[in-house]
Amino acid sequence: MHTARWRPRTGTHLLALDACTAAVLTAVYVVLAGQDASDGLPRFCGPWWLGWLVAVGVGGPLAVRRLWPLPVLAVVVGATTAATLLDITRDPYLATALAACAVASVEPVRRASAGLVGALVVSAAAVVIGEAVITPAGPWSEAIGTAAFVWLVVGAAWAAGRVARARGARAVQRDRRLLEDALAEERLRIARELHDIVSHSLSVIVVKAAVANHVAEERPQETRDAVRAIERTGREALTEMRRALGVLRSGSAAHHRREPGPAQTDPPPGLADLPDLVHRAEQAGVRIELRTPPTADLDQGTELTVYRIVQEALTNVVRHAGAGTHCQVTIAVDARGEVTIEVVDDGAGNTTSSGSAELQGGHGLLGMRERVTVHGGTLTIGPRPDGGFALLARLPPEPPHSTAGSRYERSR
């Protein structure tokens, strides 16, 4: 996993703002270069072009401080030092503070710290030498106090830059975590869909193959029926697999094109497809009674969840109860829209003769729990007192915004 790195914002509007700041500070230093000594401080007595050159050196580089922060800091500190020694400076090194803020927000901590130390040392030396040695305007203590104030301004700007960098890095890490969570959720969704498609069909195929192998010599007609059932189930599984892969490909293409348009595929299975699902399970020798509501106004996601839960439940019946089992599937929707899914079997089948007892458990029950959890519902699975197993799932009328926990008592 790559470490999240924060890159500072250098949009056109920010560069324009820096350019305006640079122009203002340059103009201020041009005015200071031509100011008289009416404020009681020493005045600049050099040629006008030198004052203009120093003013451009102090303010001009700030226009690109986000692009080349360390070179800009070096130029600004040098120009501000010259301005201080020439008695032009009247501000607490605001240009140096802005350059130091950019360095702190862009550069790693070592280079940012080195830049700060260099700026503070050079600035303090310039202030003390300029005010206490070259053109003394007061005692040494006053020069040292001015240097301390410059340190405070530059240090505060540097600290503000580090805070901005830390916040930006945290935002990048948060976005990366959200992306990783979304990818993990997508992988889990794909795994659930593929499991639901493959597991059910392969369970029927394995059971029918075991039956065909068991009666191949004694009852050839039954063998041919089993082979035809295997062929039909395999074709249906292949069709459903292609449909799932088509959805994934279309969704991926739309994502790369940033087009939210629907995929050109068949709709996902729902309540109307339960009879076909029951018919395929009955080919493995399980007797199933299906009860569904005459009308149900459910959204597509809820219908898909109901279908997948019933599919996994029937797969488990075929695997673990075997041929001859009687199973009852009941789907109910109350007036509020709450969906109840109940799958009950009597466990009276013969798993040994069908060969399904050799099948190993997978992630189907976990997938059911995750589907129910997404809808904020509850899931209960366990043995019945009089034999067999029972599954009871409840889906609330509307999925809540937060994921609710589900109850999962026992798997096979």
Q: What is the pLDDT of residues 221-235, one digit of tens each?
A: 777 777 777 777 777
Is residue 100 assigned to a domain? yes
pLDDT at 8: 57
Give the contacts of 179 (CB within 8 A, at least 6 positions apart): none
- Please report, for the domain that includes residue 348, its CATH number: 3.30.565.10
Q: Are 66 and 106 in contact (CB under 8 A)?
A: yes
Among 123, 157, 174, give the residue marking a domain's end. Answer: 174
- Do 154 and 37 lie in a common domain? yes
- Joined together, the tokens standing for residue 387 give 């034999």
The Cα angle at residue 310 between residues 264 and 332, in degrees rounded to 5: 100
Query: Domain ends where: 174, 199, 233?
Result: 174
Residues 284 and 396 in one domain: yes
Q: Which residue has the higher pLDDT, 69 or 349?
A: 69
Q: State which residues form the domain around 292.
A: 271-412
- Whether residue 209 lies inside any domain: the answer is no
pLDDT band at 119 (very low <50, low <70, confident <90, very high): very high
279 located within any domain: yes
* Residue 3 domain-assigned (yes or no): no
Residue 210 lies in a domain: no
- Do 168 and 282 fall into the same domain? no
Q: Is the pLDDT of residue 402 over 50?
A: no
Is the pLDDT score of 370 beyond 80?
no
Please give the average per-residue pLDDT across 73-87, as a whole number.
91
Mean pLDDT of 310-336: 87
Instruction: With respect to residue 113, please indicate whether it lies within any of the assigned structural domains.
Output: yes
Q: Is the pTM of this model over 0.75?
A: no
Q: Is 240 helix (H, G, I), strand (E, B) or coil?
A: helix
User: In this structure, what token pair is assigned to residue 322?
Assistant: 């075997």
Among 10-14, 59-63, 336-340, the minimum mean pLDDT is found in 10-14
**79 lies in a domain?**
yes
* Tokens describing residue 266: 């068949």
Residues 283 and 403 in one domain: yes
Same structural domain, 285 and 167? no
- What single DSSP character describes residue 290? E
Angle, nearest 10°, between helix axes 364-374 and 140-215? Answer: 130
Question: Confidence band (pLDDT; 50, 70, 90) for 46?
Answer: confident
Q: Is residue 405 part of a domain?
A: yes
Do 56 and 162 share a structural domain? Answer: yes
Number of domains in the chain: 2
Phi/psi-derived region of residue 342, left when phi > 0, alpha when psi is between -120 and 50, beta in every other case: beta
Q: Does position 157 have pLDDT exceeding 70, yes or no?
A: yes
Same domain assignment for residues 294 and 170:
no
Give yes or no: residues 166 and 22 share one domain.
yes
Token reading at 230: 């295997």
Distance CA 99, CA 399 (A): 52
- Together in a domain, 39 and 157: yes
Whether residues 24 and 160 share a domain: the answer is yes
Q: Above 50 in pLDDT, residue 264?
A: no
154 and 277 belong to one structural domain: no
Chosen domain end from 156, 174, 192:
174
**Average confidence score pLDDT of the chain:** 78
